Amino acid sequence: MIRAETRGRIRLLRLDRPEKRNALDGATVQALLDALAEAGRDDCVAVVLAAEGASFCAGADLAEMKALAADPAAREARSALTIALMEAPGQVPKPVVAAVQGAAMGAGASLALACDAVVLAENAKLGWPEAKHGMLPKLVAPVLLRHLGPKPAFDLLATGRSLAAEDAMALGLATSITPAERLIDEAIAYAEAAALLAPAAMGPLKRMIRESP
Q: Which residues are catalytic?
A: 130
Half-sphere exposure of 52 (CA within 13 A, CB side): 13
Let me know: does 7 contact 183? Beta carbons within 8 Å: no
Q: How many Å apart are CA 165 and CA 142, to the nearest integer?
A: 21
Q: How many Å apart are CA 46 and CA 9, to the nearest integer?
A: 7
Q: What's the start-to-end Cα distance of the chain, in Å? A: 36
Cα distances from 15 to residues 32, 146, 194, in angstroms, run: 8, 24, 22
Let me know: does 180 contact 122? Beta carbons within 8 Å: yes
CA-based diameter of the chain, in Å? 48
Neighbouring C-beta atoms of residue 197, cutoff 10 Å: 16
Let me know: does 91 contact 138? Beta carbons within 8 Å: no
How long a stretch of residues is the chain?
Answer: 213
